[in-house]
Amino acid sequence: MASLRFLIPSLGAAQASETVSADPAITPPADVAPAADGPGATAPDPDPAQSDMDSSFPDPVDVPVPIRAPAKTADPIEALSDTAETATEAASDFLSWLGSGQSEALLATLMVITLTVLLRIARWAALKGMGRWPQQDDYSLTALVKRVVRRFHLYFMFAIALALTEAIMPLPGSVSGFVRIFFVLTAVLQTAEWVQEFAVSAIRRNLHRSAGDARALASAFNIIRWFIGFAIWSVALLLILDNVGADVTALLAGLGIGGIAIGIAAQGVFRDLFSSLSIVIDKPFQVGDTVRYGDSWGAIEDIGLKSTRVRARSGEQLIISNTNLLNYEIHNMARMVRRRIETEFGVVYQTDPDLAEQIPDIVQGLVRKIAGVEFERCGMSSFGASSLDYKLVFFSLHPDYNRSMAALSRVLLALNRGFRDRGIEFAYPTQTLYVEGLETGPDS
């Protein structure tokens, strides 16, 4: 850091000579001898009183120039470069001052070290004290506060110690400027990290605590964490730029115009991005749900910022953009409380009408004996080409597809056994041919 070095007597003499020469009306007193001029001239004897006056002035001193607030500039790169240069010079002067061996420097160093150690001990004591609090799991409020306290970094402790030292004892201008710059930067970084950790931990806590929304938050946790980090560190960057002298207003205006241009160019990406947020908020499906859309269906594997990945029942992975997926009519099979199953069967036309009338009651009794299913209705639906057709409707109390198919299998096997015991024959495609004019008798 540049410093001004001057001699007070000589500065006063120079000013006096400039004043005298500037005004010709002012003449020196008569008792003042003119200055000697020429090679043979001899200098007048020094005045003892003047010599005593000159000796009373102090020795030359260094007066440090304090760091001035940086001027606002519209170019953030230039502002950062100027601040980095100023901070480098201030840090150099700070280290030189610490190594000078002055009593003030040694006392300030001792105070900074002591306060840093005390803050470190305070953090350790706080963590140890919170360890005695009742903690149910890693997602409790105690664990959340403990993670926030654990992120109280050493560099911010050092910055606090420097700021407290400056408040307790006066420091040189260059050192004070370095302390201010260092404290502002570390405070912004530490606060941003604290806010991010608290927000992310709170989301994880809600994810663990909320049974209804846990799977939805798990699906979008990466999306939410990305948005939180982007918002927090964007604000932190603006604060840093504002403190280093950048014109944040002009920067925001430029970013607004650029954002409009980027939004128009990348509207497809942003459309999918907002569709992913719609999935998170509206929750039409979650990771692990089995859905059907259009002619495809499968289990949701991942919900990303732009696309959703679905594992088809045939084994391949289907990737569809979030916007296109929401344009379909989505059938969420995982939201079923029970699965409705319909099946048809037919008996031969030769079945006795009275027995055919009893078939719905027979089927109802057979289905009610099967565990995991609920009978709804059964009745004759139509006259088929080669059978009397019946329709059976029942519910599988387990909506899972595989378990529902197993329940259907048990129902069909029960019908097969029950009809065979009662002499009821299932129909199968047959044709009967009648030929006219064919004589039928013992001699034909």
* Residue 399 placed within a domain: yes
Q: Residues 174, 225: one domain?
A: yes
pLDDT at 55: 47
Q: What's the mean per-residue pLDDT of the chain? A: 75
Q: Residues 152, 224: one domain?
A: yes
Condensed to tens digits (0 to 9), the pLDDT of residues 162-185 reads 888 888 887 776 677 777 878 888
- Number of structural domains found in the chain: 4
Pairing, β 317-321 against β 3-6: unpaired
* Residue 80 placed within a domain: yes
Q: Residues 324, 343: one domain?
A: no
User: What residues contact residue 271 under an 8 Å CB cut-off, 6+ apart?
Assistant: 323
Q: Is 70 exceeded by the pLDDT of residue 37?
A: no
Which of 224 and 27 is assigned the larger pLDDT? 224
Q: Residues 201, 316: one domain?
A: no
Q: Residues 349, 258: one domain?
A: no
Domain that holds residue 181: 76-265
Condensed to tens digits (0 to 9), the pLDDT of residues 293-303 reads 988 889 998 88
* Residue 436 placed within a domain: no
Q: Residues 143, 259: one domain?
A: yes
Encoding tokens for residue 210? Answer: 């909320």
Q: Residues 327, 345: one domain?
A: no
pTM for the model stands at 0.46
- pLDDT category at 363 given cuts 50, 70, 90 is very high
Which of 435 and 187 is assigned the larger pLDDT? 187
User: What is the C-alpha to C-alpha distance for residues 82 and 101, in angstroms, rounded to an integer?
Assistant: 30
Beginning with the edge strand found earlier in the chain, give each strand of the sheet holding 388-396 in spatial order: 339-347, 388-396, 373-383
Condensed to tens digits (0 to 9), the pLDDT of residues 187-242 reads 888 888 888 888 887 777 766 665 444 555 555 676 677 778 888 888 888 887 77
Q: Residues 163, 299: one domain?
A: no
Domain stop point among 303, 320, 335: 335
User: What is the C-alpha to C-alpha distance for residues 273 and 322, in angstroms, rounded to an integer?
Assistant: 8
pLDDT at 144: 75
pLDDT at 243: 73
* Residue 164 placed within a domain: yes
pLDDT at 71: 54
* Residue 1 placed within a domain: yes
Encoding tokens for residue 326? Answer: 């929401």
Residue 247: CA count within 13 A, CB half-sphere: 10
Q: Residues 108, 188: one domain?
A: yes
Whether residue 353 contacts residue 341, with contact meaning beta carbons closer than 8 Å, is answered with: no
* Residue 21 placed within a domain: no
pLDDT at 393: 96
Condensed to tens digits (0 to 9), the pLDDT of residues 302-312 reads 887 788 899 99
The highest-confidence range among 105-114, 172-181, 257-266, by mean pLDDT, is 105-114
Which of 437 and 150 is assigned the larger pLDDT? 150
pLDDT at 343: 94
Q: Where are the beta strands (DSSP E) in 269-383?
A: 290-293, 296-303, 307-312, 317-321, 330-332, 339-347, 373-383
User: What is the C-alpha to C-alpha distance for residues 318 and 286, in angstroms, rounded to an integer?
Assistant: 16
* Residue 444 placed within a domain: no
Q: Residues 80, 221: one domain?
A: yes
* CATH classification at residue 294: 2.30.30.60
pLDDT at 79: 61
